[in-house]
Amino acid sequence: METVSENKCFGGVQGVYTHGSEACGCPMTFGLFLPEEARDGPVPVLWYLSGLTCTHENAMVKAGAQQWAAEQGIALVFPDTSPRGEGVADDEAYDLGVGAGFYVNATEKPWAPHYNMWDYVAEELPRLLGNNFALDMERQAITGHSMGGHGALTLAMGLAGRFRAVSAFAPIAHPSASDWGRKQLTAYLGADEGTWRRHDATLMMREHGFDGPILIDTGTDDQFIDLLRPEDFAQAVAERRQPATLRLQKGYDHSYFFVSSFMEEHVAYHAEALYA
């Protein structure tokens, strides 16, 4: 692991690091914010998964999360959204390939050799973090935006007992019923829709649910709301009688102006679960 940069931030340190990834078969970069409390011992961890076209840097720079994480004594992890570099398959479309890993393990060519973002986020990066930083890996929570909201929800429901809380900003909530999903899941996982189920938050809610609290915000003026399908997830929550807070925020769109407007509430929500 190599240090790209470390900057003092709200009393703590915002770092950027690179390492060779076994899961993805290429170098990967991630951001990590450590609050001041990490100098004295391990602190709880909040993961932030970003959306289409993003790198580790988008949320790290635009979401305003460090201020609120510093107040709560929580670390923030900002993984990348896909493998990158020479030999990594890509597509000319913005919503497939580099920057669009969809947090799955690809089984289809040409994606399979590198696009193993589920294993990277679920296994490899947590192991690396736990071995190298003052993090309490027994206290984890997860959030994300858009494609990252999809990843946060599916990882939380798919890794039972891993995360104490999950939240999302404008998540792609029913990808198997959306053009933001069917295209990518077909490309990465093949045409058998049975293999998609563990990567569809609405279907996972119907079948598994989440043993903990859920918070989701979506803007009523989100320009992609028909692709996100929040109503499908809300129906699955109601059918399962899952404890959840699902909010439509009047006038907000899909941008980081929306994300940053509600970040304080999301961090406080996670802090309550992490310190319970």
Residues involved in catalysis: 146, 222, 254
Query: For the sheet containing 214-219, what is the strand order?
Result: 2-9, 12-21, 26-34, 75-79, 43-49, 135-144, 163-169, 214-219, 245-249
131 contacts 146 by C-beta, under 8 angstroms:
no
Q: What is the DSSP string of 197-217?
A: GGG-HHHHHHHT--SS-EEEE
Q: How far apart are CA 9 and CA 66, in angstroms?
A: 7
Residues of 10-23 as b/e, b for ≥16 C-beta within 10 angstroms? eebbbbbbeeebeb
From the number of C-beta atoms within 10 Å of its C-beta (0-12, 13-18, 19+), residue 40 rates as exposed
202 contacts 234 by C-beta, under 8 angstroms:
no
State whether the Cα torsion 170-173-177-180 is positive or negative. positive
174 contacts 232 by C-beta, under 8 angstroms:
yes
Q: How far apart are CA 170 and CA 167, in angstroms?
A: 10
